[in-house]
């Protein structure tokens, strides 16, 4: 068993092992929450097709593009009925248990415009694991664990000069 953010779903499913997905356990009477790191789309500063690139970004980040993103195997920010259908009707089918992701609150660790270096991936995964471990063990509340996780990611972003 491993505890990961939504950003790891596509990576885990692309492996050779069959996986199941389950929401993080919650105390009775509390809402399910999921750490989420949205996909990033970037446009090269020197692109010769800036207008077309911006049109693509607006499409991909919007509700119609979210359907295409879901069909590709990544979970988009939009969780409309069309996105849900695209997610569950695709082949290969998504891991069992992912229906819980459509009913939980997503917590986003970075502010708009903040980025992390790709080489920080192991530090990000360690921060995710720690937040979930503290919550599941009862050592911390969701809110406190998430604040700690956000603080670590903000530190990583600041170390990049962002």
pLDDT tens for 48-57 read 999 999 999 8
Statement: residue 59 has pLDDT above 60? yes
Vertex 16: Cα angle to 14 and 22 (nearest 5):
65
β-sheet bridge partners, residue 105: 33
pTM for this prediction:
0.55
Kindly state the tokens that stand for 98: 């992912």
- Mean pLDDT in the chain? 76
Statement: residue 47 has pLDDT above 70? yes
Kindly state the tokens that stand for 103: 């009913």
Prior bond to 92 cis, omega within 30?
A: yes
Give 91-106 pLDDT, tens digit per residue.
Answer: 777 766 677 777 777 7
For the chain, helix (H) and strand (E) counts, in that order, are 6, 2
């Amino acid at each position: 068993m491993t505890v990961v953010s939504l950003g790891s779903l596509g990576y885990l499913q692309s492996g050779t092992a069959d996986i199941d997905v389950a929401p993080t356990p919650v105390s009775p009477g509390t809402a399910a929450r999921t750490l989420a790191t949205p996909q990033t789309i970037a446009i090269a500063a020197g692109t010769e097709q800036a207008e077309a690139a911006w049109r693509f970004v607006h499409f991909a980040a919007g509700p119609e593009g979210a359907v295409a993103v879901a069909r590709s195997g990544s979970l988009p920010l939009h969780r409309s009925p069309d996105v849900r259908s695209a997610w569950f009707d695709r082949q290969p089918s998504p891991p069992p248990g992912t229906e819980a992701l459509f009913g939980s609150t997503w917590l986003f660790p970075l502010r708009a415009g903040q980025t992390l270096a790709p080489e920080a991936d192991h530090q990000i995964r360690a921060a995710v694991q720690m937040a979930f471990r503290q919550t599941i063990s009862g050592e911390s509340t969701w809110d406190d664990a998430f604040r700690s996780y956000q603080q670590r990611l903000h530190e990583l972003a600041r170390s990049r000069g962002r």
